[in-house]
Amino acid sequence: MSGTSRPLSSRSIFPQAEVIGDLGPTLKLLADRLEGRLPNAKALIYLRQGILARIADRELEARFTPQRIVRAVMPTDGILALDNGMYKIWFARNYRTHVANTLLLDNALATMGAGLPSAMMASMLYPTRRVMAVCGDGGFMMNSQELETAVRLRLNLVILLIKDDAYGMIRWKQAIDRFTDFGMTFGNPDFVKYAEA
Ligand SMILES: Cc1ncc(C[n+]2csc(CCOP(=O)(O)OP(=O)(O)O)c2C)c(N)n1
Ligand SMILES: [Mg+2]
């Protein structure tokens, strides 16, 4: 295929081999076939060790970082559901998980508004586990009406709301590109009263 008629993915990604299938079983089949056949497999171990060492270093920093505070209050099997904004990067890079599927995030399309609904689903599936949604004020306000459902279903979850009265991430990108600070700030309701209501 050529020119603009190519599907979006093949405009920027050039796979040597494509495998289409359900992710879990596909990875298992691939892993079985690759076992012992990767020439540089040990490099992955060093890569993993490097990532874990960096996460451990972040734990010792003096400055405030949101993932440290949350890690301290979450049990190992607690489930964190992230919305999308600046704070998400701290969690995506530095929140150490010990149990599979305890950090739910959407790193690709990064859809704002997904944090609360995904926390609600996690709470419905695992009612006895601690569940927390971490949302920016912008993302939270995109879907905050779902609180009605959460209350009606008596879902057991906590929302950590990071309030800067702004679309912080985009404001930051605007600033690094030296654009005028335009259109990225907004007012918020009184969140405590909103939750009580
Ligand atoms: C539905 C949707 N619209 C727009 C964007 C682009 N976007 C990414 S982060 C962001 C700002 C997020 O603001 P907020 O939730 O308040 O988090 P903050 O960055 O301020 O911490 C925007 C507009 C997006 N990812 N998803
Ligand atoms: Mg914000």
Q: 152-191 pLDDT, tens per residue? A: 999 999 999 999 999 999 999 999 999 999 999 999 999 9
14 within domain boundaries: no
Judge if 132 and 160 occupy the same domain.
Answer: yes
Which residue, 36, 60, 84, sits at the end of a domain? 60
> Does residue 73 lie within any of the structural domains?
yes
Q: Nearest ligand to the C-alpha of residue 83?
A: 1
Residue 82 has what pLDDT?
98
| Together in a domain, 54 and 68 | no
163 alpha carbon, closest ligand: 2
Cα dist. 166→50, 75, 88, 181, 183 in Å? 34, 31, 15, 11, 9
User: From the CA of 3, how far away is ligand 2's center (Å)?
Assistant: 39
Tokens 């912008």 belong to 138
Q: Within this chain, do residues 123 and 50 fall inside the same structural domain, yes or no?
A: no
**Which H or E run includes 142?**
helix 137-143
Query: For ligand 1, what atom is nearest to the CA of residue 111?
Result: 26
Q: 139: helix, coil or strand?
A: helix
3-state secondary structure 63-125: CCCHHHHHHHHCCCCCEEEECCCHHHHHHHHHCCCCCCCCEECCCCCCCCCCHHHHHHHHHHH
With a cut of 70, say whether residue 11 has pLDDT above it.
no
Phi, psi of 136 (to 5 degrees): -80, 165
Clarify whether residues 79 and 172 are in a common domain.
yes
Best CA proximity match to 133, nearest among 44, 14, 144: 144
The chain-wide mean pLDDT, for the chain, equals 92
4 within domain boundaries = no
Per-residue pLDDT of 87-131, as tens digits, reads 999 999 999 999 999 999 988 889 999 999 999 999 999 999 999
Residue 81 CB neighbour total at 10 angstroms? 26
Choosing from 35, 60, 85, the residue where a domain stops is 60
Please give the model's pTM, rounded to 2 decimal places: 0.85
Check whether 50 has a pLDDT greater than 50: yes
Give percent above pLDDT 90 in the chain: 78
> Taking a C-beta distance cutoff of 8 angstroms, is the pair 70, 80 a contact?
yes
Least confident among 3-7, 39-43, 90-94, 98-102: 3-7
With residues binned 3-state (H G I as helix, E B as strand, rest as coil), the percentages for the chain, rounded to 5, are 50, 10, 40
Q: Is the pLDDT reported for residue 12 higher than 90?
A: no
Give the model's confidence band at 141: pLDDT under 50 very low, under 70 low, under 90 confident, else very high. Answer: very high
Closest ligand 1 atom to 137 CA:
16
- The predicted structure's pLDDT at residue 109: 87
- Is there a domain that residue 9 lies in? no
| Residue 41, domain extent | 23-60
Residues 72, 36: one domain?
A: no
- Which ligand neighbours the alpha carbon of 136 most closely? 1
The total domain count for the chain is: 2
Domain harbouring 101, CATH code: 3.40.50.970
The per-residue pLDDT for 4 is: 47
Assigned domain for 8 exists:
no
pLDDT at 8: 54
C-alpha of residue 167 to centroid of ligand 2, in Å: 5
Residues 187, 113: one domain? yes
pLDDT at residue 3 tops 60: no
Would you tell me how many other CB atoms lie within 10 Å of the CB of residue 119? 27
Q: Are 188 and 107 members of one domain?
A: yes
> Using alpha carbons only, what angle is made at residue 22 by residues 111 and 78, rounded to the nearest 5 degrees?
55
pLDDT value for 7: 56
Among 65, 112, 116, 144, which is best to mutate for testing ligand 1, by the most ligand atoms less than 8 A from CB?
112
With respect to residue 144, please indicate whether it lies within any of the assigned structural domains.
Answer: yes
Residues 69 and 151 both lie in one domain: yes
Task: Let me know if residue 147 belongs to a domain.
Answer: yes
pLDDT at residue number 2: 38
Return the ligand 1 atom nearest residue 135 CA.
15
Report the half-sphere exposure of 56 (CA within 13 A, side-chain side): 6
Residues with CB under 6 A from ligand 1: 84-87, 110-113, 136-139, 162, 164, 166-170
In this structure, is residue 88 part of a structural domain? Answer: yes
